[in-house]
Amino acid sequence: MNSLSKEQKKIISLLLLTILLLFLLWRFFYAPKTESLKQLKSTVDVGKAEIEAVYEMIGEEVSLEEAVTILKEKADKLAERRIRQKDISLALKGLSDFANKAGVRIRAIKPKSPEILTTEGGSTPTYGNIPCMKTEVAISLEGTYGQIAQYMYLLENSSRGIYTVEGFSIKKQKKDSSQLQIELLVWIYCFG
């Protein structure tokens, strides 16, 4: 049998040790760096996609500073919309509060999406730079004649917003009942 000499055993041991050391270096240093580079490349690709999306939003290629300014303006406009939604929500709450004060039961409130008010001349009333918004709301109520009259009075004299009744219909619930059912079409107007 061929036996290995001590020197050959040392060389094989050193070779195995070198292979083990290279594997450990690759496993704990090179592989994580490679993974980190892949993640960094992915992050850069996402950043590039976001920048391209920004350019698409603003419609042209501009400097980063100009793009940030344009995005800030768009964010301010979105914030104004949120304020408008809040104002409209408060106006809808006003409709509900009036019903509670008058003792009227609300059967349904169905608001449509807010829209910017335009006059017959095509202009938009504004407060500062904030346009006047209008929202159509269909309301179904139930109550006595006196309760409904009180509700209409509260609606007419509201200071929470400007409400206009564009249409309504009244019908009696039952022949021998004092309860009436009223269907209102109300426009809510508010700035903001």
pLDDT digits (tens, 9 = 90+) for 124-174: 777 767 777 788 889 999 998 889 889 888 888 876 567 788 888 888 877
pLDDT digits (tens, 9 = 90+) for 3-57: 778 888 888 888 888 988 888 887 777 777 777 777 777 777 777 777 776 666 6
Relative orientation angle of helices 31-58 and 64-102, to the nearest 10 degrees: 70
Q: Which residues make Cβ contacts (< 8 Å) with residue 169, sequence separation at least 6?
A: 182, 183
Report the distance separating Cα 17 and Cα 2, nearest Å. Answer: 23
Report the distance separating Cα 36 and Cα 29, nearest Å. Answer: 11
Report the distance separating Cα 27 and Cα 19, nearest Å. Answer: 12
pTM confidence score:
0.51
